[in-house]
Amino acid sequence: MTDRTDSNNSALAGIAPHVAAISLDNIANIAKQAFDKTDVLPLWFGEGDLQTPAFVGEAVAQAIRDGHVFYTYQNGIPELRQTLADYHTRLSSTAIGPERITVTSGGMPAIMLAVQLVLEPGDNIVVIDPVWPNIGGITRLLGGEVRSVRMDLDDAGWALDLEKVAAACDGRTKAIFYASPGNPTGAMIPLGVQQALLAFARQRGIWLIADEVYYRLVFGRTAGDTILDICEPEDRVLVINSFSKAWAMTGWRLGWLVHPPSLAPRLAMMVQYTTSGTTTFLQHAGIAAIREGEGFVAHMNRYCQEGMEIVCDALEQMPRVRLRARPTAAMYVFFEIDGMADSRAACLDILNATQVGLAPGVFFGKGSESFVRLCFCRSPDVLRAAMERLRPFLS
């Protein structure tokens, strides 16, 4: 009789090697340590504590009552695509047509579509980090190589060295991926630097994949800098966006991709073979969020800025903390802790000692082992309580 426990005959042994090689360690594994602890202040995930605006839920309920529960357009319902096109046109200096919009089931599927579109096994993507780790996982999942280019940090903040980007590219580089505003840094890549990246990408025939999920959470501004202001419609540029952050819709799983208009039929085909289309009634939530949500987005922006100020004011008074520059956008502060070499072990120690949940910097790219990420999109009372708990540990 065959021993069913034999590792050579197990289901796990039969999966694709490049899938088996992907690490299972992530932020959620840290959070699992506290699932049964009611006193933990969870600042590890990229999620705020504000509820989705009521008018968004009402739009979904009405859409269901109206019978919007069937299969629909694979690029997204025309009304949402037009609404998103108008939204981009209003906020940027360039007219964006609905033929450049594909609606997705969240920001992650938008990134997956973008990478699937351009990557073949054995190709590489140059990833600007520190960065949210999922882009690396997607690239490896599709049989590609990740080439990291770390941004430089000094007292003025995070900056991208374009020469390092160019040096990382070769004949098998299919895309350069960057997030602006960034997760975990809260930094923006200036439009002039993005212009230089675009010029280089045009010269080399490389795609740019820009994650602009935090585009509306820029402190003191209505919106951030977007590459859509400087690229041509048929440039090899893909822009990722999502309703998750600015509209407090993380669990709704609704996002979109801005792309060259010629790609719309190909993307519709790719959606057909993956999700078959984004949930119809949820797309009506997106319409309501865009059309009625500007007041909420402005409130979310102020909420994050207030949280940033509370947290940074406190961290700057803690002797073991090195915070060289305050974030100017997004919902995170990414700071160093003196004497910490292993951020994963440190975050577990901090969790056990203070009941505050932080994300280890090690997950955000090589060179971030002495950093931790804290999400400040939380109520002032929660953030002040967290700072009081952290103060003895980081002093």
Q: For the segment 200-235, what is each residue's pLDDT rounded down to a tens digit? A: 999 999 999 999 999 999 999 999 999 999 999 999
pLDDT recorded at residue 6: 52
Is residue 361 within 8 A of residue 304, CB to CB? The reply is: no
Beta-carbon contacts of 260 under 8 Å, excluding residues fewer than 6 positions away, are 100, 233, 234, 235, 236, 237
All CATH 3.40.640.10 domain ranges in the chain, comma separated: 69-292
pLDDT band at 378 (very low <50, low <70, confident <90, very high): very high
CA distance 317 to 313: 7
Measured from the Cβ of residue 62, the count of other Cβ atoms closer than 10 Å reads 13
Write down the CATH number for the domain with range 69-292.
Answer: 3.40.640.10
Does the pLDDT at position 277 exceed 70? yes
Q: How confident is the model over 113-123, as pLDDT tens digits?
A: 999 999 999 99
All CATH 3.90.1150.10 domain ranges in the chain, comma separated: 17-51+295-393
Q: Left, alpha or beta for 299 (phi > 0: left; psi -120 to 50: alpha)?
A: alpha
pLDDT recorded at residue 25: 78
CA distance 260 to 88: 14
| Alpha carbon 3 to chain centroid, angstroms | 44
Provide mean pLDDT across the span 60-85: 98
pLDDT recorded at residue 33: 76
For 4-154, strand residue ranges (E) read 41-42, 101-104, 124-129, 145-150, 152-154
Q: How confident is the model over 154-195, as pLDDT tens digits?
A: 999 999 999 999 999 999 999 999 999 999 999 999 999 999
Does the pLDDT at position 348 exceed 60? yes
Does the pLDDT at position 311 exceed 90? yes
* pLDDT averaged over every residue in the chain: 94
CA distance 212 to 242: 8
Between strands 207-211 and 173-179, the pairing is parallel
Which of the listed CATH numbers 3.40.50.11540, 3.90.1150.10, 3.20.20.140, 3.40.50.510 matches domain 17-51+295-393?
Answer: 3.90.1150.10
pLDDT band at 130 (very low <50, low <70, confident <90, very high): very high
Half-sphere exposure of 315 (CA within 13 A, CB side): 26
pLDDT band at 1 (very low <50, low <70, confident <90, very high): very low
For the chain, strand residue ranges (E) read 41-42, 101-104, 124-129, 145-150, 152-154, 157-159, 173-179, 207-211, 237-242, 255-258, 321-322, 332-337, 356-357, 359-360, 371-375
pLDDT recorded at residue 27: 79
Is residue 219 within 8 A of residue 308, CB to CB? The reply is: yes
Query: Which contacts of 135-140 are long-range, i.e. CB under 8 A and separated by 24 or more positions?
Result: 135/111, 135/177, 135/211, 137/22, 138/111, 138/112, 139/115, 140/18, 140/21, 140/22
* H or E, element range at 344: helix 343-354
Q: How confident is the model over 4-25, as pLDDT tens digits?
A: 445 566 888 888 888 888 888 7
Does the pLDDT at position 29 exceed 90? no
